[in-house]
Amino acid sequence: MLTDLLTADVIRLHVGCDSWREAVKSGTDLLVNKNCVEPRYQQAIVANHETLGPYMVIAPGIMLAHARPEDGVKTLAMSLVTLKEPIAFGNKTNDPVKLLITLAAPNRNSHLTALSQLMELLMNAEDIRSIMDATKKEAVLAI
């Protein structure tokens, strides 16, 4: 369930970042600190972005950062970071990014329920705007 994955300890709001790499690191650091992924998971996300382009920028202002299970995933996990200032990731249609969700899935199936719930949330423009503007984690958790 999405509510089981997105808890206060994996949410950071209004994070100041100077680059897209730093923004990715802010999301993966939360999962590293919780021992859900290895530090190399962040490097894999960056490498995917550099190799395959900004496909992870899935909607206007939203990035779903991820890599493969074998890139250092220990357990199913997700983090949510809002950026103080939006950052360009190179996606002409959906830049700049304000909301970064990092997903770590240990296999092909364990994340599907949470991902489905996340997609439902992302389709609600009012909720997404509220998350992007939130100053307290409790407000995000309530949504």
Supply the residues annotated as catalytic.
66
Sign of CA dihedral 67, 72, 76, 78: negative
Pair of tokens at residue 54: 């900004």
Can you tell me the distance from the alpha carbon of 42 to that of 27, in angstroms, rounded to the nearest whole number?
9
Radius of gyration in angstroms for the set of CA atoms belonging to the chain, rounded to a whole number: 14
Can you tell me the distance from the alpha carbon of 6 to that of 23, in angstroms, rounded to the nearest whole number?
18
